[in-house]
Amino acid sequence: MNFLLSLEQKMLQDAVERAARDVCPLQELHRHVDHADLTLRKRAWETLAAMEVAGLCVDEAHGGSGYDLVDAALVTEVLGYNAVPSAFLGHTLAVLAIQASQDEGLKQTWLPGLAKGELVGTVALREPDKGWYPDDWSMRPEAGRLSGAKSFVLDAGEADCIIVGLADGQLGLVEGRTGGVQCTPLDGVDRTRALFDVVFAGAQVHPLPAAKDAGTRLADAASVLIAADAFGGGRRAVDMAVEYANQREQFGVKIGQFQALKHQLANMATRMEMSRGLYWYAAYAFDHRPLERGHAASLAKAHVTEQFLQVARDAVEAHGGIGFTWDYHIHVWLKRAMFDWAWNGDPKFHRERYARLSDWQ
Amino acid sequence: MDLNYSPQYEEFRLEVREFLAENWARPAGLDRDARAAVEKAFRNKAIQAGYLYRNVPREYGGSGQEPDVLRAQIIREEFRQARAPVELHQNGVQLLVPTLLEHGQPWQKEAFIPKTIAGEYFWAQGYSEPGSGSDLASVRTRGEIVGDEWVINGQKIWSTGAQYCQYMFALIRTEPDKPKHEGISYLLIDLRQPGISVRPLKQITGRAEFCEVFFNDARTPSNWIVGQRGEGWKVSRSTLKFERSYIGGAERSTELFARLMELCRSARIDGEPALRNPAVRQRVAEISGALAAQRYSSYRQISMAANSEDAGIVNLMFKVFSTDIGQDIAKLARDLIQESFLLAPPDESNWRHAGFERWNNQFMGSLGLAIAGGTSNIQRNIIAERGLGLGREKKAGGEKA
């Protein structure tokens, strides 16, 4: 019984934290958010690739580090803390899907490049006006070709391969940026993530032969990583609010001395800190307790993203007027919280799923 | 990260299970006294086996085991599973014994710990006063040395079960000229004397779990003091720390949640079990999320303790967090019991025959947790100041609390 990070995991988080601070200071983040300047995104990805983080979950036989989902979640937490715009989330999910397939040829073709970060992957799960999980996937390949639409796909415009959710919870791989794949960028509320609507028009698709629940497993992985991101982002929102309360003076004293604000900050810190174990456990269950995987993923996704959204709102409020300006940076995390809340299923969806999985009659 | 126990601990778990299988069967059809005797005999065996009162040395009636949070956790889990008697839920056991172990003189430990553990001595807590709640260090109940005795005058309040207790551990102002934190002593007092009157305090639920205790030239021997004169505040800190972590444990929330699930299955909405109602499912799942957050945070806390690491700020958060869970459960139960909400909660004598109005006891009782052992609002100050490093507010009179 040891529910703690290993030294190696702590070092991984520290290394990514240092790199994230270096590559993504606030002024760079502003440039990215204000001007849709993609320099930061590109540099961030190069940095992660150079640290071998792009191949974190690729097995060693295919040129990666062979880590578990929990390690990817720990990295996601740090990227969320620093609001680093990067392809890591979709990429890692694509890697997990290919890694879990039984098609050795496909693995040989894709994994080494994905591991190096030379190739970028993503996942396309939700269909327009439908849900995110496999029950709502309806696309069926015909004679190796795929037609239909997916919405709110991360990074589709730059992806070399897109893992597509198919009918019956199966998965297929479509090569990105080729004929038959049209990606339309969306004006997303969160400018640190690039969202696209994707239309497949007779695109060539390779089925990913895998276990029956491959699609659900992939969606659960997405939920765990989003929960991790939300934990990191929420932690940052608390840190920023506390820091501000220790600087800003009104009535001749630091505003952090006022009990009303203290209580708000204490509640925010409590909401977030108590969420840590929940996302850890969801990642742990994904790796080690398959029977609890879905329960834990949905519970964590619902709870932690909801805490992040509330804490981000509270953090804006705690900053007063400056927090309401575009020029100040707290809104970046508020919008990431909005993304985390809605992407891959909102808390309502995940709570009902938890109730169903728990067999509440 | 590995939530499995190592083979050595799994072996220990089997040993505990075997012990329970051999020594514990829930007594059926016994009256109260007979049941108490069975439980007492079981506890003695469990102490002999090293499972209860692990931190209390054998010479004082405990089982004197090396500290090992994982073994302690396994014992808790297995005893709970078997619904076997655990350590007594009595303030003397939970609050005084650890204090005496840390600060008591050898004769005090010998005189008080074994009988307290054996359930022969019951202790009331004498901390709060009508004028000293959150500002506990302002206590005014006076103690003066006259000959070889303390003579005590004043009043305590919120003393749990004092009407059934023989003794009290109390914070008494003995050095009135010193600054407030340095003028308090930690005294032990025999409640069965003419100078003391105990009056049960009826609380909002209708029950009387607490008492007011009045001191009118009450007396206690001069050496019934724990620590030195004026050190009572410091001495009591170990007690209060213990009380807060005790209230914040995940077991209580888990038990309460199990009762909520029973209610969700038996209460009806539109002729169906409430648990099938979509809105109810949302709220139960929301509470499940908070409960799981608490449980896994406690796994981490236990793991850190096992590694002698300080879990830090999270230790300060358990009480507020679990209190909030209790209140969310209370609100959901309120919505499910419908018109039973109009009925008075039953007292213990007709509890078994009562209906959903039983939940009114929890509805009101959950407020008590936000107040007892330090209010949630004071706890939020502590989180903000000690945990987040925010500055202290100037208190009236320029004093920093």
H/E stretch holding A235: helix A214-245
In this structure, what token pair is assigned to residue A328? 């100040």
Q: B96 to each of B40, B54, B212, B237, how far by Cα in Å?
A: 20, 16, 19, 11
Distance CA A297, CA A286 (A): 8
User: Which of A264, A271, A274 best probes binding to B when mutated, by most B CB atoms within 10 angstroms?
Assistant: A274
Report the pLDDT value the prediction gives residue B394, as an integer from 0 to 100: 67
Rounded to 10°, the helix A293-319/A276-288 angle is 160
Helix (H, G, I), strand (E, B) or coil at B273: strand
Parts of chain B with a pLDDT under 70: 238-249, 394-401
- Read off φ and ψ for residue A173, nearest 5 degrees: -110, 125
pLDDT at site B401: 43
On chain B, the residues whose CB falls within 8 A of the CB of A253 are: 391
The rounded distance, in Å, linking the Cα atoms of B329 and B342 is 18
Residues from chain A contacting residue B11 (CB–CB below 8 Å): none
**Distance linking the first and last C-alpha atoms of chain A:** 33
Q: Which of B275, B303, B387 shows the shortest C-beta gap to A4?
A: B303
Closest-approach residue (CA) in chain A for B300: A3
Which tokens hold the place of B111? 């005189």
* Residue B348: per-residue pLDDT: 77
Q: Hey, are the CB atoms on A360 and B275 less than 8 Å from each other?
A: yes
* Residue A336 near residue A226, CB atoms below 8 Å: no
Look at A245 and B390 and tell me if their CB atoms are within 8 Å. yes
Closest-CA residue of A relative to B3 is A1
Catalytic residue ranges of B: 243
Q: Which residues contact A316 (CB under 8 A, 6 or more apart)?
A: A323, A324, A330, A331, A334
Q: What is the CA radius of gyration of chain B?
A: 23
> Across the interface, which of B282, B288, B383 has its CB nearest the CB of A270?
B383
Residue with tokens 């190739």: A119
Q: Model pTM?
A: 0.93
Neighbours of B93 (CB within 10 A): 21
Please tell me whether residue B356 adopts helix, strand or coil conformation. coil
Classify strands A195-207 and A171-175 as parallel, antiparallel or unpaired.
antiparallel
Q: What are phi and psi of B126, to 5 degrees?
A: -115, 75
Burial of A204 (0-12, 13-18, 19+ CB in 10 A): middle
Minimal Cα distance from A357: which residue of B? Answer: B285
Task: Give me the residues of A, 188-247, that contact B with CB < 8 A.
Answer: 242, 245-246
A126 touches chain B (CB under 8 A): no
Q: What is the reported pLDDT for A269?
A: 98
State whether A257 and B393 contact (CB < 8 Å).
Answer: yes
Checking DSSP bridges between strand B167-173 and strand B184-190, what pairing results, if any?
antiparallel
Chain A residue closest in CA terms to B295: A277
Q: CB of B138 within 8 A of CB of B132?
A: yes
Tokens of B220: 């206690």
Q: What is the mean pLDDT of residues A336-345?
A: 98
B179-214 pLDDT tens trace:
999 999 999 999 999 999 999 999 998 889 999 999
| Chain A residues near residue B73 by CB distance under 8 angstroms | 1
Pick from A2, A246, A263: CB nearest B2: A2
Residue of chain B whose Cα is closest to the Cα of A247: B390
Contact B381 A266 (CB under 8 A): yes
For chain B, domains (ranges, CATH) are 7-87 (no CATH), 123-232 (2.40.110.10), 248-387 (1.20.140.10)
Instruction: Return the DSSP state at A95.
Output: H
A106 touches chain B (CB under 8 A): no
Predicted local distance difference test score (pLDDT) of residue B245? 46
Tell me which of A262, A341, A359 to substitute to probe the interface with B (most B C-beta atoms closer than 10 Å): A262
Sequence letter at residue A1: M
ipTM: 0.95
Q: Which residues of B314-342 are buried (b: 16+ CB within 10 A; e: fewer)?
A: bbbbbbbbbbbbbbbbbebbeebbeebee
The answer to whether B39 and B97 have CB atoms below 8 angstroms apart is no
Across the interface, whether the CB atoms of B317 and A348 are under 8 A apart is answered: no
Residue of A nearest to B294 (CA): A274
| Predicted confidence (pLDDT) per residue in A240-297, tens digit | 999 999 999 999 999 999 999 999 999 999 999 999 999 999 999 999 999 999 999 9
Q: Residue A336 — very low, low, confident or very high, per pLDDT cuts 50/70/90?
A: very high
Rounded to whole angstroms, how far apart are CA atoms A153 and A344? 10
Percent of chain A with pLDDT over 70: 100
C-beta atoms of A354 and B288 within 8 A = yes
CB A54 within 8 A of CB A111: no
pLDDT of residue B241: 52
| Res B302: pLDDT | 84
B391/A288 CB distance under 8 A: no
Contact at CB, B3 and A274, closer than 8 angstroms: no
Both tokens of A125, joined, read 């799960």
Taking the Cβ of residue A70 and every Cβ of chain B, the question of whether any pair is shorter than 8 Å is answered with: yes
pLDDT digits (tens, 9 = 90+) for A107-163: 999 999 999 999 999 999 999 999 999 999 999 999 999 999 999 999 999 999 999
Q: Dihedrals φ, ψ of B90, to 5°?
A: -145, 140
Q: Report d(CA B74, CA B306) in Å as an integer.
A: 13
DSSP assignment of B301-332 equals HHHHHHTT---TTHHHHHHHHHHHHHHHHHHH
How high is the pLDDT of residue B258? 94
Mutation choice for A interface testing from B288, B303, B377, B385 by most A CBs within 10 A: B288
Residue whose entry in the numeric block shows the structure tokens 């209906």: B355
Indicate the DSSP class of residue B215.
E
